[in-house]
């Protein structure tokens, strides 16, 4: 359904059926319109996803907005999302959102050692865990959103060139490199698991070898939590954490901000700039620890 038509129906719904006050409705409407304007290339309700809210929150965080204000905005957008789900106007939204819980507004990031520990957990002798290993390595190597990862097609991979064509938000395509480790385990997964599966003719890259269906977002989320627990990582870890860590580690190792923006597929540079704050905070924290040892 057209986004504007859906918004009109939602406002009518909360006005008549829920009986909200005029002021409350105007507040919701203002928040939702700003959100929709941020993604003005999306014209149909089916194009929206959970990732859109998370990236929008990152953008708001760079402006120094208070947590209370961000939470109010999330609540407004979430109400609209719930309506889209209930009216069957979007079947992709699951509302597995990362909600800010402190005034720093910074995304959770793993250290390089924690990433290494996490990626070492899958037992590649087991077919399903070899697939998990390939997915984790590829996500961290290329900074993919979880929705981009699970929707990859075989045709998106250029194996000889070690590059990946990603269709991101607004159906925008970008080209990102695939790291050597990611390519190594991707080829192992292809040869040992996918190409010997009875569903090997599927165009999806990562499949459930029992059903032939694409790997689900929820399954991947549970797997990352499981491997993080095995690695002894106490931080809250989600698929988006690997994307945050990818961006932060690139900047810490001297990557250009514009290059990182392009690899992440961010429309606005302000969204990418949040990672410079993470990097600065980590440098200060490391210096503080060093100073205390002196």
Contact 199, 205 (CB under 8 A): no
CA 82 to chain centre: 20
* Average pLDDT of span 287-292: 41
| Predicted confidence band of residue 120 (pLDDT cuts 50, 70, 90) | very high
| Predicted confidence band of residue 261 (pLDDT cuts 50, 70, 90) | confident
The overall average pLDDT reported for the chain is 80
55/119 same-domain check: no
Give the domain CATH number at 224.
1.10.443.10
Amino acid 231: pLDDT? 94
pLDDT in tens, 160-198: 989 888 877 667 788 888 888 899 999 999 999 999 988
Is residue 95 assigned to a domain?
no
Amino acid 275: pLDDT? 64
pTM as predicted: 0.59
The residues, any chain, with a CB within 8 Å of residue 275's CB and separated by 6 or more, are 107, 244, 247, 248, 251, 260
Q: Per the structure block, which two tokens stand in for 40? A: 């003005």
Contact 78, 96 (CB under 8 A): no
Given 71, 86, 101, which residue is the final one in a domain?
86
Higher pLDDT among residues 267 and 148, named by residue: 148
33/133 same-domain check: no
Domain that holds residue 141: 112-293
Residue 143 scores a pLDDT above 70: yes
Report the distance separating Cα 31 and Cα 176, nearest Å.
33
The catalytic residue positions are 145, 169, 240, 243, 266, 275
Percent of residues, the chain, with pLDDT higher than 70: 82
158/281 same-domain check: yes
Q: Per the structure block, which two tokens stand in for 62? A: 């760079």
Range in 9-13, 141-145, 239-243, 288-292 the model is least confident about:
288-292
Give the domain CATH number at 16.
1.10.150.130
127/272 same-domain check: yes
* Average pLDDT of span 282-289: 44
pLDDT in tens, 190-227: 999 999 988 888 889 998 878 888 877 778 888 999 99
Q: Which segment, 115-119, 140-144, 253-257, is predicted with the most confidence on average?
A: 115-119
Residue 283 scores a pLDDT above 60: no
Residue 293 scores a pLDDT above 60: no
138/62 same-domain check: no
pLDDT in tens, 83-116: 888 888 877 776 665 444 444 445 678 888 999 9
Tally the domains of the chain.
2
Given 52, 86, 120, which residue is the final one in a domain?
86
| Residue 283 parent element (H or E) | helix 269-293
Higher pLDDT among residues 15 and 273, named by residue: 15
* Average pLDDT of span 70-78: 82
* Average pLDDT of span 272-292: 50
Is residue 135 assigned to a domain?
yes
pLDDT in tens, 44-73: 888 887 777 777 777 776 666 676 777 788
Quote the DSSP letter at residue 244: H
Amino acid 100: pLDDT? 46
Report the distance separating Cα 56 and Cα 52, nearest Å.
6
189/273 same-domain check: yes
């Amino acid at each position: 359904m057209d986004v504007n038509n859906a918004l009109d129906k939602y406002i009518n719904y909360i006005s008549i059926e829920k009986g909200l006050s005029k002021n409350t409705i105007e507040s919701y409407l203002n928040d939702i319109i700003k959100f929709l304007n941020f993604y003005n290339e999306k014209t149909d309700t089916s194009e929206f996803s959970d990732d859109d809210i998370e990236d929008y929150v990152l953008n708001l965080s760079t402006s120094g907005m208070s947590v209370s204000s961000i939470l109010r905005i999330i609540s407004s957008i979430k109400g609209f999302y719930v309506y889209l789900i209930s009216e069957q106007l979007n079947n992709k939204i699951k509302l597995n959102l990362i909600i800010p819980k402190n005034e720093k507004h910074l995304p959770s990031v793993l250290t390089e050692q924690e990433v290494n520990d996490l990626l070492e957990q899958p037992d590649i002798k087991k077919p399903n865990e070899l697939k998990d290993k390939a997915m984790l390595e590829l996500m961290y190597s290329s900074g993919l959103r979880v929705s981009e990862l699970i929707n990859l097609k075989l045709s998106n991979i250029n194996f000889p060139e070690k590059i990946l064509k990603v269709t991101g938000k607004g159906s925008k395509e970008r080209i990102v490199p695939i790291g050597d480790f990611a390519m190594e385990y991707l080829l192992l997964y292809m040869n040992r698991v996918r190409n010997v599966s009875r569903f090997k003719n599927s165009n999806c890259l990562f499949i459930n070898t029992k059903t032939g269906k694409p790997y689900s977002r929820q399954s991947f989320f549970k797997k990352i939590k499981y491997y993080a627990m095995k690695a002894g990582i106490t931080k809250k870890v989600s698929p988006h954490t690997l994307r945050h860590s990818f961006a932060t580690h690139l900047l810490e190792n001297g990557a250009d901000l514009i290059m990182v923006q392009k690899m992440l597929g961010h429309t606005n540079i302000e969204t990418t700039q949040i990672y410079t704050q993470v990097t600065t905070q980590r440098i200060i924290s490391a210096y503080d620890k060093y100073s205390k040892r002196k």
